[in-house]
Amino acid sequence: MAKKSCGKRPCSICRKWFQPDVRQKGRQKTCGRSKCQTELHRRNCHDYNKRNKEESANNYLEKKLEQVKPKTVKENNKKPPPDSIHPEISQSPLLQPSPFVLPVEIIIKEYGVRNMVIIHYLVRKIITQLQSQNRGAP
């Protein structure tokens, strides 16, 4: 005869006692409330991103670049012109506030919005790396 599921157990988030689903066979961690499930998912994502920093950084940059659609010119296979200056780009969520100052308008005018996003990302990575090295120095 099949063994019954284990008895009640506390939710790993809210610590309230609950009866786990028999089909989960001891894997159920939360009581099933949407707030607890959301919090468990957030914690698991945080842990995963911590373990896979490079992949997380690549995903972050990819999402930012997807928000900026490149302009394409299809007549005679010409290259698209660089994006015109968009003052709202520097205040947009694409470019989060940072402790350094970049000539955003000039970079956008010369290289385009997509390249600005990449440059901004790389500068943030370099600054973060330098700050972490300075904290560890005696």
Residue 62 clears pLDDT 80, i.e. is over it: yes
Q: What is the pLDDT of residues 22-56, one digit of tens each?
A: 998 889 999 989 999 999 999 999 999 899 988 88
How many other β-carbons are positioned within 10 Å of the β-carbon of residue 117?
20
The residue length of the chain stands at: 138
For the chain, the domains span: 9-50, 70-136
Of 47-61, 77-91, 108-122, the least confident = 77-91
DSSP 87: T
* CA neighbor of 54 nearest in space, from 130, 131, 136, 125: 125
Mean pLDDT of 127-136: 81
Q: Using DSSP, state whether 37 is helix, strand or coil.
A: helix
* CA neighbor of 90 nearest in space, from 73, 77, 72, 102: 102
CB neighbour class for 12 (10 Å; exposed up to 12, middle 13-18, buried from 19): middle
Whole-prediction pTM value?
A: 0.50
Long-range contact list for 7-12, CB < 8 A, 24+ apart?
11/36, 12/36, 12/40
Of 50-54, 106-110, 116-120, 133-137, the least confident = 133-137
Residue 91 clears pLDDT 50, i.e. is over it: no
pLDDT, mean over the chain: 77
How many other β-carbons are positioned within 10 Å of the β-carbon of residue 28?
19
Q: Give CA–CA dist 121/126, Å, rounded.
A: 9
Mean pLDDT of 120-125: 83
